[in-house]
Structure 1
Amino acid sequence: MNPYLQKYITLKKQYIAQEGNPPSVSALYELVDELAKSDDLEAKKVLVDLYEQLGLYASAYDLFTKIITKPDRKQIKKLAHLAEMSQSHGDRFALPRPLRKEEKKQRTELSQSLPHFIYHPDPLSTGAFVEGEAKLCPSCGKESNIYYNLMPYCIDNIKNLCPFCIANGLAAKKFDAEFVQDAECQGELDPEKDQVLFLPDPWLL
């Protein structure tokens, strides 16, 4: 057994035994970094399996198409599976890489700069908001490097809303948008809570 495969099997067993806790996921991603630097074909083969394990199907498919040679029935079946998963899932639903200590500190500082959402206190960690290159918010017209990563429920195709326009209700009012899909009502209606949940108001800030 080649050392790359042996290490992967060991880490995979740890991941399963530890029920996918953050340290076990971090160990798998560290192996990704290690294998990605290698030109060894055996390392790349293991990397394909590791990508698949982490849910990085687009990455697995892309790499597999580059290293596959004289495909046999087993490889053709694997290629078809990865092609299908790459098309339907891509890398979008991959296991998130746990933040390192310094990254956690930066994330905490960044989160503190955001408006407060009562029912969604940490939208950066859930992926509702993402940090990236500055983009214009279609609601206020100002640039923001933190923006909504989902699509609001409205007629227009709205992207890159800044967190402040969502929190103060401007985006909801301007685009007649809601940010939570209609939910089944159970029990008594509470208009005040519905307003907070579906159409954020200025007092959320």
Structure 2
Amino acid sequence: MPGIVAVPVALALCAGLLAGPAAPSGAAGESARPDCRAGPAGCYGLYTYGYSLGLHPFTEPDAVRRQLTDHFWLFPVSGGCAGRISAGARCELLGGNPVEVEAVGDDFFQINTLPGHQLGRGMHIRFAFSRTFGFHSMTVRAWQDRPSDCTGGVLCSAVNRAFARATWWVLARTLWWSAYAA
């Protein structure tokens, strides 16, 4: 796919701006950082996108999630990741970007970027699946432990959000069709 070839180029734009995460202020009265693995509350929010996966009246949201996590080659930037992923698994997405599967629930899974990822470490991305009146949807939410030089910068942050929106749209279109097999 032509859009997937642009992955390393788009990510490379941000890679040049990344110098690592911002250092904590160290103020005496500063409270402890929240555990961002659990969700975006109290963390640095990046984006939330919603996508329709079409009408699948006889398919539950957990079946759509299983379709993706059991056949991870459907993921548009799966790279060297195995066909089946589970919590705790580590792999490299397209372009040599290391991630860890943080959690897999009934109707969601979540990944976390590791050191060496072109967008920096500590970016959590949750893919949640739901169904209303037979119509399925996928919500993709991303947040970070703290802003990196990229997510704090206007250009890199905009490129990251635009790339993510397009990439997850490709995933949604793939799941639109593959959910029939779920």
TM-score bracket for the superposition, by shorter chain length = under 0.3
Q: Give the alignment's TM-score, normalised by structure 1.
A: 0.20
Higher relative helix content: 1
Higher relative strand content: 2
Greater relative contact order (CA < 8 Å, ≥ 6 in sequence): 2
Q: From the CA coordinates, give the structure whose radius of gyration is larger.
A: 1
Q: Give the alignment's TM-score, normalised by structure 2.
A: 0.21
